[in-house]
Structure 1
Amino acid sequence: MLDAASIWKSFDGVEVLRDVSLTVRQGECLVLLGPSGSGKSTLLRCLNLLEPVSSGSIVFDGTEIANTPRGQVAKVRQRIGMVFQNFELFQHLSALDNIALAPIRVRNVSPDRAREQARTLLDRVHLPDKADSFPDELSGGQQQRVAIARALAMEPALMLYDEPTSALDPEMVGEVLAVMQDLAETGMTSVVVTHELGFARRVADHVVFMDGGQVAHRASAASFFGDKAPERVERFLSRMPA
């Protein structure tokens, strides 16, 4: 589904990603771990074409997309859902209309059909009674679940999550992770930047550890958490909450 090879990315001459490669097969969940500033979020933004790579290749579903012309980027993004740290919901729209907006405007879905689909997705993220609620009437966890439903409304082949629980109070984290786990277990291909080690242990097929803009270690989830890891990885894991 996704094959990124030798990705380099610089900002004002500072290398943020250095020869990063990763592969995600259809139906897999890949978790990216690493300290703040290691390049995880930048990598995700490059995969979604929110940032152009300095060099390298990104093959998505058999098509090279790293050098997609600007006029065609939106078409590629329709098939790659993105969930951000801070929800990014439209405050003047209800939960239902936040979800229905993109299918109506981008995919030319009829308003009635888009809203019907939005109600189905609200059921899927366990918010069937919040269709008419506005973002400021929802908890952080509920807003993030609406954001996930909004991404799913475009029927993506790949979901990217950029620390989706980092802005949430601890008691709200579990409800978002449960939805993400359900999606992964039903076959949604996903790449997740997170510090939630429990989620990584339960859901990830593979784990990539990044440090200093590079891939420092990669392994299956069972091996990553069960075998002897490099000293840098062990030190990182020892400092994380159990």
Structure 2
Amino acid sequence: MGRKSAKIAAKKGAADKARGQVFTRALKDVFLASKSGSGDPDTNFLLKVAIDRCKKFNVPKDNIDRAIKKGQGGDGVGYTDINYEGYGPGGVAVFVEASTDNNTRTVANVRSYFNKVQGSLGQTGSLEFVFKREANFLVNEENVSDQDEFELEVIDAGAEDITLEDGVYEIIAPVESFGDIQKKLQEINITPEEARLERVPLNHKAIDDEDTLKQFERLIDLLEEDDDVVTVYHNLEEEE
């Protein structure tokens, strides 16, 4: 393979990987929404949001249907939500949310990923003061006819902060306001691009060494590629 061909292949491989990660994230949102409510998007608002996002990324319908069925326990197996907390290379905090039908398998896998990069899996609650939970909604500006009225409505429902950037409103709220804002958006006929509970780092950790950074990125890749892992949060300080 020539140098030019190798570069093209490398770019294609990176694009395929990124596309696969988008598919995986979108389908996991479908699974979570289905697991927490009904399998009908007409009665499960979060499922409708997740399915619409999948369609936006051209995720195959069969994949979406399987994720819904899995969330509803269609395979006859119950899934349990479980969190793992630890530190990766460079001392960066890593919080892992998983949903599994076999905790023994999942914890062994997660521990092995940390071990491969000389990280460490900690005790539950060890990152209590590193992350906070908050509700997060993204709404396209084109779906809002009156900005002032829209902002007043969601503030009344419990929003703490609303920003508009690049044509997208980001709504931040306390966890306990998630349901109220969800209902309010339904009432005013707005379907958000995303609606989820997130863990936001209260402080950040920088990695200056390139090799250490590569190891940390490897850890995140290993975790995100695991079928049982739903979301991975960390407090790595991002470059400007």
TM-score normalised per structure 1:
0.28
Comparing both structures, which one devotes a greater share of its residues to helix? 2
Higher RCO, Cα 8 Å, sep 6+: 1
TM-score by length of 2: 0.28
The structure with the larger Rg is 2
